[in-house]
Amino acid sequence: MANLLADDLDRVLMQTAGLWDDLRGARLFMTGATGFFGSWLLETLLHADIRLKLGVSVVALTRDAAAFSSRSPHLAQHAAVTLHEGDVRTFEFPTGAFSHVIHAAADPSPIASRADRERMFDTIVDGTRRTLACARAAGARRFLFTSSGAVYGAQPAQVTHISEDYAGAPSSTDPAQAYGQAKRAAEMLCAIHAGDGLQPTIARCFAFIGPYFPAGGHAAANFIRDALRGGPIEVAGDGTPYRSYLYGSDLAAWLWTILIRGAALRAYNVGSANALTIRDLAEAIARAAGPDVEVHVARPATEGAAPSRYVPAVDRVDRELGLQQLVPLDQAIRQTLGWHRAGVAA
């Protein structure tokens, strides 16, 4: 594990130099600690703790402590980590004070029905309400909420990179937009709970790739899965939507910076500004996987149709927090494929 991520973890320390003193002796509470975001945050925090002798401790909320311990024993059984089992909507508050709280919980269950959408909506909104209440009860000063670019709704085709000042929103009568609406409601809860010492910060997250990234579940994950099987990589649509992908180490550096240095209730886009089409992504993964991996696109593009886009503008995090993407996509793809080929569970 250490060898697979050694360069990545050192890179995060380089990106965040001067940041970690704010966490010296800190006690953190984290939801979503077992997912993609949480795993990267735990890896980088524990690495910084060892290198810089921070003396930090973290209480990590998990639905299934035994499963997490089996999957990631080096994280779950670390001396600085205490697992706290519970549902993010209803968990019992851990005892003691916390200086920092990170709310990165997500509902990983597939969405196939009205009940699934309602459960997902409630998990985001009620989970945020519960975690904010926990932060206030524990006397936390800093609170990071991992929101989503879905709060903007459909990105206009003529807008190549969507900024935090965009005033659009997902449709309030389209059930498919429940995720974006729930994240908007959760951001409002952050605003309602701010004050009296609590400073919530908001990271609007887009799309990512890297170790701990699952093989299967959405476009990039499906392409990784297909490539690992030897291909072909199946593109379900016409391959024309534009997306962008930020690597896990960059994600972790950005999230730690927003938690510690971000302005309260000022949203920051977190993602890559380097847009490419879904077909381009599939072909990049195929090249990295090997010369025999083919790409199949389900249907031809419709001539003259406006492309779908989901790509952030990241000028704000660059200008205000000094954050840039350091890992190019080709390297990120190679690292992700190598992680899975090494047989590491996501």
pLDDT in tens, 164-215: 999 999 999 999 999 999 999 999 999 999 999 999 999 999 999 999 988 7
Give the span between the Cα atoms of 314 and 164, in whole angstroms: 9
- With respect to residue 70, please indicate whether it lies within any of the assigned structural domains: yes
Give the span between the Cα atoms of 161 and 96, in whole angstroms: 43
Tokens of 140: 């936390």
- With respect to residue 281, please indicate whether it lies within any of the assigned structural domains: no
Task: Report the Cα 169 to chain-centroid distance in Å.
Answer: 21
What is the pTM (predicted TM-score) of this model? 0.96
- With respect to residue 279, please indicate whether it lies within any of the assigned structural domains: no
Segments forming the whole domain that contains residue 59:
2-213+245-273+311-327
- With respect to residue 262, please indicate whether it lies within any of the assigned structural domains: yes
Q: What is the mean pLDDT of the chain?
A: 94
Residue of 52, 83, 340 whose CA lies nearest to 220: 340
> For the domain that residue 14 is a member of, what is the CATH number?
3.40.50.720
- With respect to residue 339, please indicate whether it lies within any of the assigned structural domains: no
Residue of 93, 104, 82 whose CA lies nearest to 258: 104
Convert the pLDDT of each residue in 298-324 to its tens digit: 999 988 889 999 999 999 999 999 999
Residue of 141, 135, 180, 149 whose CA lies nearest to 30: 135
- With respect to residue 291, please indicate whether it lies within any of the assigned structural domains: no
- With respect to residue 111, please indicate whether it lies within any of the assigned structural domains: yes
Give the span between the Cα atoms of 281 and 254, in whole angstroms: 23
* Number of domains present in the structure of the chain: 1
- With respect to residue 180, please indicate whether it lies within any of the assigned structural domains: yes
